[in-house]
Structure 1
Amino acid sequence: MPLITQLFAVLVFACLSFAARGEKLRIVTEPWAPYVYEEDGRSLGLDYETTAIVFKRLGIDVEWQFLPWKRCLSMLESGQADGALDIFHSDERDATLLYPSEPLSDVEFVMFYANERPHPFNTLEQLKGLTIGTSPGYLYSPDFSQSDLFTREPAPTHEANFGKLVRGRIDLLITDRRVGQHLLDQLGLRAQISENPTVISRQSQFLAVRRNAGMDLLVQRFGAELKRFKREPAYAELSARYGAAPAGSAPIRSATANGKTVEQQESGAR
């Protein structure tokens, strides 16, 4: 058998070894509705269901664990997990993680405000003196996270941030557009809180796996199948179910600071 054929056979075997040995791929993630979450004992979400469909088509069984994000990263580093769902790409992680060429979804960080206390803005300079609710461990655009114009105040959960906003303990909060819209409905706050359409930063979310023997081909096959699925009507229906932009919503803008756009690719905490 030619050497190249032997090498290809080894890669295929390694990639399919989970199914062949009856083992499951161990994937960890943090609840991040509507992308991935649990409800009434069921796992749901745009990225979770998309990933489950792709793995089913590939014949790979998956064992899922929902944990705090820092624990997810720790399990990846220690080898207790094979991959993570909805993780941002960063140059630092390239040394230990493999990413498919196709992302699962795109995150848009925007601000939410209490209708009784609106704070309209187009640039970060217009946020001077305000207190903005953030999520611990999450990284935003450098212009936002390093600015000394305003105060960043973390809350333990997204729900806590929205509660602080309603009570006037913070002036604005920053979170992903779809996550925020989902929480407005879940918490019954749509009449009290609105979204500012200015985009603070954008980032893509991926399924990433640890760099080890056999994972290279698995990532390639996952990316190719994911790209195929995203062209199908079933994906369009899934995406619409989990947060299509509300009808009549304002056009998206990008905040600027000193003439520089805040819409940047950066290392994310997720």
Structure 2
Amino acid sequence: MPLIAQLLSVILLTCLSVGARGEKLRIVTEPWAPYVYEQGGQNLGLDYETTAIVFKRLGIEVEWQFLPWKRCLSMLETGQADGALDIFHSAERDATLLYPSEPLSDVEFVMFYANDRPHPFTTLEQLKGLTIGTSPGYLYSPDFSRSQLFTREPAPTHEANFGKLVRGRIDLLITDRRVGQHLLDELNIRDLITENPTVISRQSQFLAVRRNAGMDLLVQRFGAELKRFKREPAYAELSARYGAAPVDSASLRDATVGGKTVEQQESSAQ
């Protein structure tokens, strides 16, 4: 088949998959400020606004749903959602999900502790006997998840985790650095909580879509337009508004605690 005919066929498949039947692309995500969140009935956040701009440029309408992350993963698995915003890349999910070559942002997972019960550390071995607040639907690295040195205790929301930390029900909690810093101000507890500087992991987060007809071209177009947008002053202004630094892929290969990683977005919903 001539190259032009092949391209036209792929474009047609893309249209059929996301628009020809009058359907919007269904994207799910968990509130994850300052990357994506709702405020006053408005969707906001660095990654949400970046994604919305890119989709608008591509002429693709999107239906957004903000849900707990376990529910997001369940909807992806059952086909109730076409894609997820701010998901980590995983080789295990390559069989079902497509990822653009360009990430939306990168995260650094750290731990926070209460000032009246300080637990500073540099290695996971120093957490022996402690209880660490985690988030349901998040799969952490094997050394963290399987360690018998400390206890992992999930909470339904990031806000609930910080509440448990303030009340002394957990000793530390793990979350992204900027998410944690945002919540310290949002919950007005900055004078009560300290961020431990040791980085547990660094990871890029993406928009990923299910492997359906034509989605491979959609992912290519999204990645190319995202990369183009990141070079524009508008993206620099957006990043500055949310206090974001440019994604540095090389930094994601730097050593972290024990050379291990913490992965946010790869747990099943069960």
TM-score (norm 2): 0.88
Shift of 1:33: 1.4
Aligned pairs for 1:241-256 within 5 A:
241-244=241-244, 256=257
Q: Which residue of 2 aligns with 1:176?
A: 176
Cα deviation 1:27-77 (Å, max 9, x = unaligned): 111211111111111111111101000001111111111122222222222
The one-letter amino acid of 2:4's match is T
The answer to whether the 8 A contact 1:229-1:235 is kept is: yes
**Is the partner of 2:162 in helix, strand or coil?**
helix
Paired amino acid for 1:190: R
User: Any conservation in 2 of the 1:88–1:269 contact (CA below 8 Å)?
Assistant: no
Map 1:25-36 to 2 at 5 A. Answer: 25-36=25-36
After superposition, the Cα gap between the structure-2 partners of 1:199 and 1:71, relative to the gap in structure 1 and judged at 3 Å, is same
Measure, in 1, the Cα distance between the counterparts of 2:167 and 2:198.
Answer: 23
| In 1, Cα distance between equivalents of 2:144 and 2:30 | 24
Change in 2 beyond 3 A, CA 1:118/1:255: farther
Secondary structure in structure 1 of the residue aligned to 2:64: strand
- The equivalent residue for 1:127 is 127
1:12 match: 11
- Distance in 2 of aligned mates of 1:255 and 1:169: 27
Q: Do residues 163 (structure 1) and 170 (structure 2) align? A: no
- Gapped regions of structure 2 (runs ≥ 5): 246-253
SS across alignment from 1:95: coil
Q: How does 1:37-116 map to 2 (within 5 A)?
A: 37-116=37-116
How far apart are the structure 1 equivalents of 2:215 and 2:113? 44
- Letter of the structure 1 residue corresponding to residue 6 of structure 2: L
Question: Aligned-residue CA RMSD in angstroms?
Answer: 2.1
CA shift in 2, pair 1:123/1:263, >3 Å: same
Check 1:255–1:221 CA distance in 2 against 1; reply closer, same or farther (3 A cut): closer
Alignment partners' CA distance in 1, 2:265 and 2:64? 24
8 Å CA contact retained: 1:99, 1:219:
yes
Following superposition, the deviation at residue 264 of structure 1 comes to: 6.3
Q: Distance in 2 between matches of 1:264 and 1:8?
A: 39
Deviations 1:177-224 (A, max 9, x none): 111011101100111111111111122211111112111111001001
**Closer, same or farther in 2 for the Cα pair 1:82/1:267, shift >3 Å?**
closer
Matches within 5 A, 1:184-203: 184-203=184-203
Residues matched between the structures, number: 259
C-alpha distance in 2 between matches for 1:169 and 1:20: 52
- Code of the residue aligned with 1:13 in structure 2: it is L
**Identity, % of aligned positions:** 81
Q: What SS is found at the alignment partner of 1:43?
A: strand
Query: Structure 1 length as normaliser, TM-score?
Result: 0.88
2:219 equivalent to 1:219: yes
Whole-angstrom CA distance in 1 between matches of 2:32 and 2:81: 19
Moved more, 151-160 or 39-48: 151-160
Who is 1:145 aligned against? 145
Give the Cα separation in 2 of the matches to 1:11 and 1:177.
Answer: 40
> Unpaired segments of 5 or more residues in structure 1?
246-252
CA contact (8 A) 2:202 2:256 kept: no
| Residue in 2 that maps onto 1:268 | 266
Partner of 1:23: 23
Aligned-partner Cα distance in 1 for 2:224–2:161: 38
User: For each residue in 1:236-256, what CA deviation from the matched residue of structure 2 results, as whole angstroms up to 9, or x when unmatched?
Assistant: 2222222448xxxxxxx9653
Per the alignment, residue 249 of structure 1 pairs with: none
Residue identity matched to 1:7: Q
After superposition, the Cα gap between the structure-2 partners of 1:209 and 1:116, relative to the gap in structure 1 and judged at 3 Å, is: same
CA distance in 2, matches of 1:268, 1:118: 30
Aligned to 1:248: none
**1:85-127 Cα deviation digits (max 9, x unpaired):** 1112112211111110111111211000111221111111111
